[in-house]
Structure 1
């Protein structure tokens, strides 16, 4: 049996089956870009890590409540034959699942999830709406503005960098660079 967890085309088709929102699709691609870049940096399985990131919120549009997401997604992925490590890694990205982040993959997904969304929001308020204009200092400045992208949990961003044992500045810079490499697909 082929390993679906390393088949991006299969994972992408699954994402698009459950997610129609352009912004949610772009969020999946942004998190994927950051997580894959970290997989390369850490010498890990880039395809596997990328697909975990790609599918981390695939069930969110259909099942947006804390009672359902990511639990429904976990059930769907189990039915489709995804291994436990893949599924538990996804489950761990939400604090309320109470799954401890014990692996580098879990910590990386958590660290990149909110930050990728925040960097996207910062990009949209740049005059050119281009990620090429986004700098670490502008992201840090916007993080202090509680009214800006108010649904993004700043503590998750800070804690995510700490779990990766990186300074916040290093983590932000790394994710900006990862997203720049994928700016066409991200529309940034």
Structure 2
């Protein structure tokens, strides 16, 4: 499958702008980690891009991600891609995160959402965003309250990276796609 195929599938099931931007952010972070670890960037990008493609239609567990997994199987996506996507759901106890790909998706998912929330309240957006400012917002439980902080810390630990390093890495991964994510500095939006 190509990235164009992935995007067509994503757009067939998702029309929420914020959800699409989230999947693009997770794709960027997964691709960056694939480069860092010497892994298959296309495969890892697919996992990041499609991990929530079924969420808008079937947001309730276990429908998400199981409905999406069935669709991916019908579309002939690999078992490795389908498993990695299923493994990001903690409630699917029969899909523990075992591979580096599984762990990377989980580590990037909630963090990318949180980084986006942090960037959106800053005039510079991603520009100048630091791990310390993200960690400060993590302590503010009313900020982006739906994001599970423990998933962010557990994800970094399971991936074997220090939290500050992981945050900095993901911020850097999102910067090249900032325009697609709606995260250009406010002065660049005109």
Asked if TM exceeds 0.5, the reply is yes
Name stretches of at least 5 consecutive residues in structure 2 with no aligned partner: 184-190
Q: Which residue of 2 aligns with 1:84?
A: 79
Residue number among 129, 132, 151 corresponding to 1:137 in the alignment: 132
Q: Shift of the alpha carbon at 1:147?
A: 0.5
Whole-Å separation in 1 of the counterparts to 2:8 and 2:72 = 13
Judge conservation of contact 2:30–2:44 (CA < 8 Å) in 1: yes
Q: Is the 8 A contact 1:123 1:133 kept in 2?
A: no
After TM superposition, the score normalised by the length of structure 1 is 0.95
Out of 143, 150, 169, the position equivalent to 1:148 is: 143
Per-residue displacement from partner, 1:142-161 (whole Å, max 9, x unpaired)? 00011100110101000111
Q: CA shift at 1:129, angstroms?
A: 5.1
Output the TM-score relative to the length of structure 2. Answer: 0.94
Q: 2:26 pairs with 26, 31, 51, which one?
A: 31
**2:154 matches 1:165:** no
| Cα deviations by residue, 1:119-172 (Å, 9 ceiling, x for unpaired) | 00001111x152113111110000001110011010100011101111100000
Q: Conserved in 2, the CA contact under 8 Å of 1:31 and 1:112?
A: yes
**1:116 correspondence with 2:112:** yes
CA contact (8 A) 2:62 2:91 kept: no
How many matched pairs?
182
RMSD after superposition:
0.8
Structure 2 residue aligned with 1:14, among 9, 12, 29? 9
| Structure 1 counterpart of 2:186 | none
Match of 1:73 in 2: 68
